[in-house]
Amino acid sequence: MHKPPVFYALIQVKFNAVQMERFVSDFREALRGNGFPDYQEDTQTELLISMGPSGPRPPEQRPRNRWRFFNMERTEGFTLLDDALVYHTNRYDCFTHCRDVALQALRILHDRVDLAYVERVGMRYLDAVMPAAGAALADLVKPTLLGPYSELPGDLDHGFSETRKIVGDGNLVMRTLINEKGLAIPPDLQNQTLNLDETLKSYQGDLLLVDTDYFVQKRFKFDMSAIEKQFQASHAVLIDTFKAAITDEAKALWGL
């Protein structure tokens, strides 16, 4: 491998809420011409919890429309909401491709909707660290990512950790999951609908999932150049974070 073992990447831009249903048809046709002919519409249920004068109100369930667009192979696509556009892919090759595709779709949407402002920009990478035969996870990642799992008695079910930090203007969250039975997808992505690589799905053995999320919650006027600048900055934070967590051997292996 000549790149980090990223198997899933997401880029989210949250903006001012609009009645998106009016624009879906036109947006769908534009994406179809740009290599995303597959389409799916569904409704998800949101659970809203709010405070009243005397305490928490009863949870309220609210349906929310969701429009999904995919390439023919279902290896990359978009999810559109009334207040957000999410790009995701499970065939990550390089950041520039992800950045350019996400920006192009966002520009298409803005041309039709005339968005007013951006509320949040998020980027998330999932890495599957799988040691080669005869090697161990400790050869590839720093001990802090592995925790005490190798020192404790008994058979491992799983090992999980989460770290949150403030980096620049944003929030950095790193979650790790150690599993001796192969890949375990995070619960919030189990219905992500993209087709995972068969090699990854069938892998059996020690595997460390490194789930790194960086998001900036800041409102600014909708501007494509500002969004692109934030994409670049977010990517740099994620890459620097991953580099700090792996060994020199792993950096040589993955071309870092």
Domain ranges (residues) in the chain: 6-45+61-195+204-253
Burial of 110 (0-12, 13-18, 19+ CB in 10 A): middle
- Region 84-101: mean pLDDT is 94
Main-chain dihedrals φ then ψ at residue 58, nearest 5 degrees: -60, 140
What residues contact residue 135 under an 8 Å CB cut-off, 6+ apart? none
Mean pLDDT of the chain: 88
Mark out the alpha helices in 84-197 (DSSP H runs).
95-113, 143-146
- Region 44-52: mean pLDDT is 67
Band of residue 4 on the pLDDT scale cut at 50, 70, 90: low
| pTM reported for the whole predicted model | 0.88
Q: Quick check: 29 and 110 in contact, CB under 8 A?
A: no
pLDDT at 3: 60
pLDDT at 2: 44
CA distance 226 to 237: 17
183 versus 9: which is more confidently predicted?
Answer: 9
Per residue in 98-149, pLDDT (tens digit) is: 999 999 999 999 999 999 999 999 999 999 998 877 788 889 999 888 877 6
- Region 183-205: mean pLDDT is 78
